[in-house]
Amino acid sequence: QLDSWYVILNGTVEISYPDGKSESLCMGNSFGITPSLEKQYMNGVVRTKVDDCQFVCIAQQDYWRILNHVEKNTHKVEEEGEIVMVKEHRELDRSGTRKGHIVIKATPERLIMHLIEEHSIVDPTYIEDFLLTYRTFLTSPLEVGNKLLEWFTVDSLRDKVTRVVLLWVNNHFNDFEGDPAMTRFLEEFEKNLEDTKMKGHLRLLNIACAAKAKWRQITLQKPSRDSPLFFSLLGGSDKGFGIFVETVEMGSKAAEAGLKRGDQIMEVNGQNFENITFVKALEILRNNTHLSITVKTNIFVFKELLCRIGQEKNGIPHIPKIAEKKNNRYSIPDMPGDVEQMFPREKGNKKMKANTVSGGRNRIRKILDKTRFSILPPKLFSDGSVSQSQDDSIVGTRQCRHSLAIMPIPGTLSSSSPDLLQPTTSILDFSNPSDIPDQVIRVFKADQQSCYIIISKDTTAKEVVSHAVHEFNLTGAPETYSLCEVSVSPEGVIKQRRLPDQFSKLADRIQLNGR
């Protein structure tokens, strides 16, 4: 008689049936009873095929109860007699205050539509999860893009659509870089933001695109020097811009290699193209039969270039800037004065030690509220009397050489955005980096709860302990706690060492295999 349902954690088993057939099951597969309370009997023989087979065993009563309970908590959404979405009721805590429905499956069309619907408190990362997984059930990202453009025309949906696009660009910019159709989608979306005068959103989009664009290598072979390039160029240092690809002939080798409209050419055969005249650039491209071209997507500066050319055609003279720095890169359009008002410089020149992110969150949230929109996740920490961050520039308008976190720190973002903490050093510019708390560390408790703390290089382990005790609402005195580094060796040995109270340069000293 069978009394359990088994899931294989490790190893392989073989089931031989009375009719002579057999099947092999490996890690992740299951066998045993069906979810009912009736007596059930084994059909055939189960043999382990390797040493150290391990199983999770669920008793019949429990297996039936769990599946039955899930069925009761399932809500099915029907349209025209067909089930289009299935939601499951979840409770995140025993008090029952955080409960709601989470989407577990739906038709592709319904999943896309759910992007702009109100999301449950128990499903806050639906958009990130969708953007990570859509490629497994949609044939083209344009199915999502076209719907978003359609919904953008509806006033009440405009902010929600913009939030989806910003998260998409920030988390998965490679979806746009390698696809000309998605590049056109971004151009059209940017034009819509411009037409509707959503300047704050437009700047956030510009920043995200400039920060996320990666250099790509494209190799082209020409039969001879006189052979056509199959793409046209714009720009040049004589116009105050880099060299940009204006058009690429459909079906040509250049298009097949991945070159597309709006790409900025950074190098050709090792020669820098960031500060080169148009004539010189064209000469190099035409006089070589083997072209190793380094490009990056820079669609918004390309649009500024088109705008400049349009103004010159209409007889509006361009007044060049005085004393451009040699190392300036045109990665985003020049920030106008109102950006200074959105992200104000802090007056004074106070030396800072440490500020918790949760304190700075309120300030950052208020700044972003001016754009009628927030990309910050729901409030995670208790903000009781936490000190305010004294510098708002962490949002992302000036340069910090060692910055670990430029965009707002993800408190409850899903794991689909691992690159939110990557450095984006080409955007920001602090006048005096030494006075800025320019690093962020994550501190864990033994129960795996964690918090983010902004520090400077001089912040000591003792000060971090004090802030962490406050963040975690611990009742004991800070002196009763210590900061430790836990690391794991290649052999899997876990080591823990207590850090001295005056230990500083914490972010620089942490190992890749430790926390």
**Average pLDDT for residues 379-391, to the nearest whole number?**
40
pLDDT of 101: 86
Band the pLDDT of 436: cuts 50, 70, 90: low
Nearest CA among 170, 265, 165 for reference residue 211? 170
Task: State residue 330's pLDDT score.
Answer: 44
Q: How far is CA 368 from CA 178, 343, 372, 383, in A?
A: 30, 9, 7, 18
Parallel, antiparallel or unpaired: strands 231-235 and 216-221: unpaired
Say whether pLDDT at 168 is over 90. Answer: yes
In the predicted model, is pLDDT for residue 167 greater than 50? yes
- pLDDT tier, 133 (very low <50, low <70, confident <90, very high otherwise): very high
Taking residues 221-228, what's their average pLDDT?
88
Say whether 84 sits in a helix, a strand or coil. Answer: strand
**Which residues, in sequence order, are bridge partners of residue 290?**
221
Rounded to 5°, angle at Cα 78 from 76 and 82: 115
Give exposure, 124-161, as e/b (b: 16+ Cβ within 10 Å): bbbbbebbbebeeebeebeebbebbbebbeeeebbbbb
pLDDT tens-digit readout, 59-97: 999 999 888 877 778 888 888 889 899 988 888 777 767
Report the number of secondary-structure helices (H) and strands (E) in the chain.
Answer: 15, 20
What's residue 161's pLDDT? Answer: 94
Give residue 333's identity as a one-letter amino acid code. Answer: P
CA dihedral 17→20→26→32, nearest 10 degrees, is: -10
Q: Which of 175-184, 194-203, 464-473 has the lowest mean pLDDT?
A: 175-184
Q: Is the pLDDT of residue 334 over 90?
A: no
CA 60 vs CA 32, 40, 63, 68: distances in Å = 9, 10, 5, 12
- To the question of pTM greater than 0.85 for the whole model, the response is no
Amino acid identity for residue 252 in this structure: S
Q: Is the pLDDT of residue 46 over 50?
A: yes
- CA gyration radius, the chain: 28
| Direct distance between the N- and C-terminal alpha carbons of the chain, in angstroms, rounded to an integer | 49
Report how far residue 5's alpha carbon sits from residue 16's, in angstroms, rounded to the nearest whole number: 18
Q: Tokens representing 354?
A: 């440490």
Q: What is the pLDDT of residue 307?
A: 84
- Token pair recorded at residue 314: 């209409």
Local confidence band at 360 (pLDDT 50, 70, 90 cut-offs): low
Say what the pLDDT of residue 319 is.
57
Better-predicted residue by pLDDT, 1 or 432: 1
Q: In sequence order, what are the residues at sequence separation of 6 or more whose Cβ sits closer than 8 angstroms to the Cβ of residue 501?
A: 460, 461, 462
> Tens digit of pLDDT for each residue in 99-124?
888 898 999 999 999 999 988 888 88
Structure tokens at 499: 């850090």
- What percentage of the chain has pLDDT greater than the value 90? 32
Q: In angstroms, rounded to a whole number, what is the distance separating the alpha carbons of residues 490 and 274?
A: 43
